[in-house]
Structure formats: structure tokens, C-alpha cells
Structure 1
Amino acid sequence: MSYNNPMHRPSPRLVLGLLAWGLAVAVGVQRAERAVHSFDNAADLPPERRRDDGNNGHAQIDFGGQWVMGRMVATGHARQLYDRTVQRPVVREAFPESAESPWARRHEPAAGVKPWSDDDPRHDAESMMHWFVGRDSPDGAKAVGGPLYPPVHGFVMAPLGMLPDPHVAYRVLQVVLFAVVAFIGLGVRRLSDGRIAWPVAVAFAFFFTGCEAALDLAQNSAVTVLILVWGWVLVKNDRDVAGGVVWGLLVYKPLWGATFFLVPLMMGRFRFCAAMVLTGAGLAAMTLPVVGVETWRDWLAVGKEASELYNLNRNWVFLSRDLFGLPRRILIDTSLPESQRGRLDATLLGWALWGFVFTGTAFVFLRHAARRVPTGPLAGFAFLGAYLCCYRFIYYDAFVAAFPLAVLFANPSRLIGPKWWDGLRSVPVLIVAALLLLENHFSPWQYELIGTSLNAGVDYPWDTVLLLGLWAWLGVKLSRAKAQGRPSLGFRPESTDYLLGGEIGC
């Protein structure tokens, strides 16, 4: 067939669509390959140190903690969900020593070896119980502890908990999460009225900070993004009650639910808020006949202990991405015993930074009359401020920031400008580009400054710093727009947005 005839030539729309889907599939395949092999035996390990099952992703706390909760519910231990004396035999059965390396099976912890290091031959079950909050009681009595998730999360994970092998459950959840990312992309397309093409949104999600780690570890931040995006799609379609019901599912991650709840509340979407609260409360109440009231009290005790540990433990401090962690990582001396690390100035600075973002978000947002508009610069600014104000979260939860950015860029021409090349000098686009580069290209980068090593690895919260900068830029621009009597940032909403997908009908 000749393509000299214009009638026979493929349309630019079709070509762009195929290229976009090719990119999304290629990135998805690369991420899948990494997720499957992330925790394989290292190639340079001697045979004695190689695990017999070949991979220990399922034995990491990130997936393992979730699965153990589901297993406790599935095996009839819902009322002992946070009892370490009941958790321990469940964990031992699920993580047998036969799956470990010969070295781990034959050796015992030696004097002078740093506990829980690579040279400390602890078994998977012992490591899991060590990572859980709390410590065993010396007399065998009930000891409250375990994963940080609320009882509702145990029911969410119960179907996977019915699988007796956590390694199989780990792979199943990874497959589910890849499907979740695909549906996040579809939700972004709906949220943007097709301005952001489905494959472009999927590729962006795969590239975005925190996504790769969440897929590798089979962590649940992608599910949180899915709930947020599709609940807000319903709001955009004037279905506030249905959207609130969807957001009520965030009771499984109550910190994120409470954080983002503030935005529809400031918007005056009270039907949405009521539906969200009633759904969340209803789901929590449905667990009571199975878990009892005491289990919920135990969860609060676990959360309190974890919150105190979060302020002092080096691992949690440096993996954190919340505002409180920014001054803490600078001021706390991690060479001291944990009991001596507490610093009032780190706490006060953290609260001051949090208070600045919280009050700044409310002040700028509530001054605008168009605050009920569900997408665009103003709504994106509010959701970005809410994200930054989440009390506690770590590096793979940074994927949740994809939701505020989806709201922000839902109509890109209002933010970037009427022409696609305006994006090359747009501050929001440049900041997002920096996020993607840091996540996907510069992780090996390292720099020495005044005796301090800086790098782009998970110990450094560059994503939080960049998103804080984007929040500040939006706040200034929106304040100026309000002072000048403009409803948004001044760009025409009707222009074609080819930079982010344009009119590709995918």
C-alpha cells in the first residue's frame, strides 16, 4: 500500500498514540523485570551465602508485615492481631529456615558482629519479629506489638493471607500492583478530560518517585494513589457522595485519609466529607465483631510506640519524607543511644515547618472564590500542601505525590502556557523533570561537601525538598493572581497541550 496518498497515511494522532503506548509498555516491562529480581541472591555471593529460595523480597518488613496481618486474620487470630506471642508462631511457620542460605541455617550470632547487619546470621522469622513494633514479654504474657497498619488492613490482606506461602503471595501482589498502576493512568486520563493520554499517565507513574520501590517491595502506596485518583474523578463528574465513599476506603491508611480530607473540607464539599467519614467509620465498625474493641486499642498503643521510635531510629529518620524529618536528620546525633537522641529544637523546627505549610496552604486557598473547582493550579496547590503535611511517611510513600500533580496538571495550559514549548521554561515542569531525573538517573550520584556526603539515594529527601519548592512557587503565583483579580495563573484553558499528551485519543 502506498502512503503517498494522504488518505492512506496514518494520522499523527494514531502515530503519537502508538508511540505513547510503546513507551508505557517498555517502561512497564523494565519495571517488572526489576521487581521480579530486586531481591535475588547477589551475583557475587559465595554459594554458602545464597538463599535456597533465591529471593527474599517476601521476607522484607514492607510486604511481610502486611502479609502477616492478613495471615493472622485468615487463620483465626484476628483478636490477637497485635499480640506478639501469637504472631511469633505464625511468622515461624510462614518463614521456614529451609528457605534461607546454608550459612544462615548453620551459624549463630557471633560476638563482635553488629546486630542485624549482613554479617549477623539471623533467621527470616527473627528479623520479621525484630522489625515489628514492640518487644516480647520475658514471662510469656501478652506483648502488644506488630505492624503499624490498623485492623482494617488485616482484612484487606486476608485474601493473600489465605495463601500459606508468603513468597507466592508476594508475587501475586506485585502483579496486582502493576494492574493498579495501569488503572491509575486511566484515572488520570479521566481526571484531565483526555488532555493527558492514558499511556503517558501510565509511563509517568512508572517513572515517578517512589513507584519503583513500591513495586519492588509490594508496598501499598499505589493502592492509595488509585483510591485518591478515582475518588476525585467522581468528584469532577459531580458525584461527591460516590467520591466520598471511595475515599472512605483510605481507612486502611488513616494518616493519608486524614491528611487529604482537609482539602474537600476547605472546598465546602460537605456531602463528600460526610460520605467519606461514614464509609470509613462503617468499615472500621464492621471489623469489631471479628477483632473486638481491644484490638483497636492495641493498634493505638502500637502507633504511639512507633511514633516515638520514628523520631529517634536512624533508619526511620533517614528514610522519612515528611516535613518533621528534615530538621531531625540534621540535628539528631545517631551515634548516641536512641534514648539520648531526643532534641527539643528538632521537634520545634519540625512543627514550625509543618505549621508554615499548613497555614500557608489554608491562607492562600481560602482567599480564592474558585476553591470548589476540583482540578487545576488552586486545587493542585491545596492537595500538594496536604501531602506535605502528612504526619509520617517514608520514601516509597512519595508515590502518593503523583495525585496532587495529576490534579495540578489536569489542564496543563492553565499552568504551563498556551504553547507546548512554554513547558521548557515552566517552573512546575522543570521541578517535575528534576524529580524524574533524580528517581531514574541520578541515584548513583554522590558529592562531598564540607566533610558531608550528599547523594541521590533513599537517605536524602530531595523529592520532599523539590515538592516543597513547587508548593511555595504555586503559593506565590496564586497570591499574586488573587491580588491582580485573576482566577488562576493567567493562561488560556482551551489551548492544546501536546507536551503532556495533547489530543491523543488513547
Structure 2
Amino acid sequence: MTATSAPAPDDRALAIRAAFAFFALYAVFFSTGPLFGQWLLDAEGRPLQADFVNVWAAGRMAIEGRAADVYDWAAHRAYEVLAVGHDFEGYFGWHYPPMFLLVAAPLSLLPYVASQLVWTAVTLPIYAAAIRLICRRWDAVLIALAFPAVAMNVAFGQNGFLTAGLLGAGLALLDRRPVAAGILIGLLTYKPQFGALIPIALLACGHWRAIASAAATALAAAGAATLAFGAEVWPAFLASTKLTNHAVLEMGWANFAELVSPFGVSRWLGLGYWSAWMVQGAVMATLAALVWSAWRRPGADGPKRALLAAGCVAASPYAYVYDLTTLGVALAFLLKDGCAPAERRAVALVCLLIIAEPLSGTPLSVLAAPIVAALAIRRIWPGLARWHAVAAA
């Protein structure tokens, strides 16, 4: 089977069987997790603090008229304790721009555990809908839901489904509905570190309507947040970015081993702050050049979008394993028309790296995005693959 042929029935059946095997593992974990203090509830049956607690706490503070205080770590942590009903070690920082409070506020009207379940139940279909838009097949959605980063995102109560869904749907609609695509891309400004490469791609191929729509949406979201929570929330957010940079990227309070970025791995390996930024900067510059060149070329629309999606992950210095949900979108764009045996093995490796990440306590899954990007590059520039084969021979 060639890389661009339709998936063979046997390949599709194998992928579906593998998906159900993953679902069985997920079912065991999520059904027993609350019993053993691993998910939703701790060993004493109390709400278990997880990443989502920062969303609930920020939302409750915004509801109570304290939106600017969400960037005060001591005040925000007090509301995290309120969320779970007991004190705990550590702190789950709120590093998002004010527009994400528009989402967090209504979620905080529910009790913490119920709110986390609702958050997952609402955002997971956004991810699934994006995969459906990309591949136009329900079996592809089933397979994408089995991607290991999906389970990680559910476990942490994180926003990977929203990020991946907005990006995937935006890129899928880019050619036929550019204004709608721009709206979805504009909403991604709630997580700005993931958007560095998107303007480069849109400018490279002249998607001016999408660019205008994205800019208007971002401004509208910022304006809505200002009207809802007051203008003082913006200086508080901007001031907090310096503390976040110092605590997370300089001091490693969030654990460098958990970052799946070139910056994080460089710090984990012992490089200094500025040396790690040089590594991250080199990766970002390389990806920017590749995205620009790829999006200037005619054809290969799926691989180009896959490269961009994988690049958005690798270009972010602040990325965790749940952010790899976006690679599900990248793989959907890349493999929707079939895959070669070598590509199947590469995808299996990506899945294993993501699974091994929390088990090993090391940032193994930092390799996941580069592997997916390399697969896309082979599709965009097939001559490179042929040259490599000749050189190896």
C-alpha cells in the first residue's frame, strides 16, 4: 500500500482492534481510579486535586468579582483548596489570558468534580468533531479517541481537547469556509503559546479572510473579557507572566521532566536557562522555515496541515503530555488517505512514547511531535526521502 492510497480493509480493521484494546485499558483505569485515589477522588473519598482545579478556582473568583486576583498565586490557591474541600501540597497555577475566564466562570457554578466531568464531556466532542471534519469517517474518530494523549487529557481534566479541536476544525475549514476557520483559530488565543506558527502558514498562502476573521475574533474575545471582568484584569495578567516565566521556566517549579518541549528537556538535561532558550529558538526557527516553505508549495494540503499542527506543539516551550492531543489532529490530516508500513510503525512509536511518559518520569514524549513532523515532511518533500534512501544504500 502506498502512502497516498486509501486504507486497506485489513489496516482499518487492525487499527479498530487496537483502538478497542486501548479503550479496554482506559475503562479499567477510569472505573477503578476513584476507588484507589487515582482519579476524581483521593484515597479518603474526597475530591482529588488535579489540573482542572485551577480552572474551577479561577472561575469562582471571577464569579465573585475577583477576576484580577486569579493572577495572585496565594489568593488563587485558597480557592483551589475551597474547590476540593481540603488542603493539599503544591499549587496549580493559572497562566491563561483573561478571555479564558469566560469559560471558567460558568464551569465554577457546579461542584468541582461535577464541573470537571462536564468540562470533559463538552470538550471531547469538539475534538471528535474536528477529526470527523478532517477524515469524514466515523472509524477515524474512533481510532483518534483511542490516541493515548486523549486518556491523559481526561485524567488531568486539561484543555487539550479544546486546543486540538479548534486547531483541527479551523484548518479543515480553511479552504471552503475561511471566515469560520478564522473564528476558530482566533479562539485559540486563549492559549497563545500554541499559535506562533499559525500566522506564518496563513500568510504564506495568502488566507487573508481567515487572518482578518481570526484577528477580529481575538479582539472580540478580549473585549468581552474586559467588559465582563474589568480592565484591571489585563495589567494583572501581564504582570503575572514575569512570575510564571521565573517560576516555571527558570526555577522549574512545575518539574522540567514533565515539560515535553525542547526547552523543558534541555533544562531537564542540565542546560542553563539561556542555553535552553537557544535550543528552543533554533527549533522554532527551523519549524517556521519549514512551515513557510511547505505552505507556499501547491498541493499536499493534508501533510502541510499535519506539519503545522505538530509544529505548534514542538514550537511551544510550555507544553505537557496532555497537549499532545493536538498530534491526533496532525495524524488525522496526515493519514486520512492511507499510510505506508513505516508510517504505521512510527505512529505506534508515538503512542508508546506518550504512554511511557508518566510511567518513566522522563520526558520521552518530547520525541512524539518531531516524529509526526518528520512523517509530514516526507509527504511534502518526497524527494528528501528518496535521497535519504539512496544515501543510506
Give, in whole Å, the separation in 2 of the partners of 1:456 and 1:81: 29
Shift of 1:408: 1.7
User: How has the CA–CA distance of structure 1 residues 380 and 41 changed in structure 2, closer, same or farther, with 3 Å as cutoff?
Assistant: closer
- Give the C-alpha shift of residue 18 in structure 1: 9.9
Q: Looking at CA atoms only, which structure, 1 or 2, has the larger radius of gyration?
A: 1
User: 2: CA distance between counterparts of 1:52 and 1:383?
Assistant: 41
Structure-to-structure mapping, 1:123-202, within 5 angstroms: 123-124=87-88, 127=89, 130-132=90-92, 146-163=93-110, 165-177=111-123, 179-180=124-125, 183-192=126-135, 194=136, 197-202=137-142
Q: What is the match of residue 255 of structure 1?
A: 193
What secondary structure does 1:313 align onto? Answer: coil
Distance 1:95 1:467, change over 3 A: closer
Map 1:351-430 → 2, pairs under 5 A = 351-362=281-292, 364-365=293-294, 368-370=297-299, 375-412=301-338, 416=339, 423-424=340-341, 426=342, 428-430=343-345
Which residue matches 1:464?
A: 366
Structure 1 residues 277-286 or 290-299, which shifts more? Answer: 290-299
- Check whether the contact 1:385–1:471 (CA below 8 A) recurs between aligned residues: yes
Counterpart of 2:218?
280
Q: Deviations over 1:86-125 (max 9, x none)?
A: 535544443333xxxxxxxxxxxxxxxxxxxxxxxxx23x
Identity %: 22
Whole-Å Cα distance in 2 between the matches of residues 18 and 365 of structure 1? 32
Give the aligned partner of residue 295 of structure 1: 233
1:475 Cα deviation (Å)?
Answer: 3.4
Change (3 A) 1:316 1:263: farther
> 1:40 touches 1:54 (CA, 8 Å); kept in 2?
no
Distance in 2 separating the partners of 1:65 and 1:456? 21
Higher relative contact order (CA 8 A, sep 6+): 2
In the TM superposition, residue 201 of structure 1 has moved relative to its aligned partner by: 2.6
Corresponding residue for residue 95 of structure 1 = 84
Q: Name the amino acid aligned to 2:108.
A: G
**Map of 2:266 onto structure 1:** 327
Asked if the contact 1:20–1:200 (Cα under 8 Å) also holds between the matched residues in 2, the reply is: no
Unaligned runs of 5+ in 2: 1-7, 387-393
1:433 to 337, 348, 353: 348
Instruction: Output the CA distance in 2 between the equivalents of 1:382 and 1:430.
Output: 21
SS of residue matched to 1:402 = helix
More helix by proportion, 1 or 2?
A: 2
What is the CA-CA distance between 1:230 and the residue it aligns to? 2.0
Q: Deviations over 1:448-485 (max 9, x none)?
A: xxxxxxx873633333324324434543664454999x
Equivalent residue letter for 2:184: V
**Structure 1 residue 202: deviation in Å?**
2.4
Q: Give the letter for the 2:289 counterpart.
A: T
**Inter-partner Cα distance in structure 1 for 2:336 and 2:366:** 22
CA contact (8 A) 2:182 2:211 kept: yes
Name the Cα RMSD after superposition: 3.4
Kindly state the Cα deviation for residue 396 of structure 1 after the two structures are TM-superposed.
1.3
* CA 19–459 in structure 1, closer or farther in 2 if over 3 Å, else same: closer
Work out whether residues 438 and 456 of structure 1, in 8 Å CA contact, stay in contact via their aligned partners in 2.
no
Change (3 A) 1:263 1:158: same
Rounded Cα–Cα distance in structure 2 between residues aligned with 1:35 and 1:250: 29
- Structure 1, unaligned stretches of length 5 or more? 1-12, 44-49, 98-122, 133-145, 333-341, 417-422, 444-454, 485-506
C-alpha contact 1:326 1:350 (8 A) present in aligned 2: no
In structure 1, distance between residues paired with 2:329 and 2:261: 16
Question: Closer, same or farther in 2 for the Cα pair 1:168/1:270, shift >3 Å?
Answer: same
1:216 paired to 2:155: yes
Q: Classify 1:231/1:470 alpha carbon distance in 2 versus 1 (closer, same or farther; 3 Å).
A: closer
1:66 aligned residue: 55
TM-superposition CA deviations, 1:65-86 (whole Å, max 9, x none): 0111111122332243323565
Contact 2:70 2:76 in 1 (8 A): yes
Query: Aligned equivalents of 1:326 and 1:213: distance in 2?
Result: 20
Quote the offset at 1:21 in angstroms. 7.5
Q: Residue 53 of structure 1 aligns with which residue?
A: 45
Contact 1:221 1:399 in 2 (8 A): yes
* TM-aligned CA deviation for residue 313 of structure 1: 1.0
Which residue identity is paired with 1:52?
A: E
Give the C-alpha shift of residue 395 in structure 1.
1.5
Amino acid at match of 1:170: Q
The amino acid across from 1:82 in the alignment is Y
Deviation at 1:213, TM superposition (A): 1.4
Residue 146 (structure 2) pairs with residue 206 (structure 1): yes
What is the one-letter code of the residue matched to 2:304?
A: L
CA distance in 2, matches of 1:458, 1:254: 29
How far apart are 1:225 and its partner, in Å? Answer: 1.2
Kept in 1, the 8 Å contact 2:37–2:43? The answer is no
Seen in structure 2, the aligned counterparts of structure 1 residues 219 and 285 have a Cα distance that, compared at 3 Å, is: same
2:139 partner letter: P
- The aligned counterpart of 1:76 is 65
SS class of match (1:293): coil
Q: Is the 8 A contact 1:82 1:299 kept in 2?
A: yes
The one-letter amino acid paired with 2:362 is Y
The residue type equivalent to 1:53 in the other structure is G
Residues 87 and 472 (structure 1 numbering): CA distance in 2 closer, same or farther, change over 3 Å?
Answer: closer
Please tell me whether the aligned partners of residues 259 and 363 of structure 2 are also in contact (alpha carbons under 8 angstroms). yes
**Contact map agreement 1:71 1:158 (CA 8 A) in 2:** yes
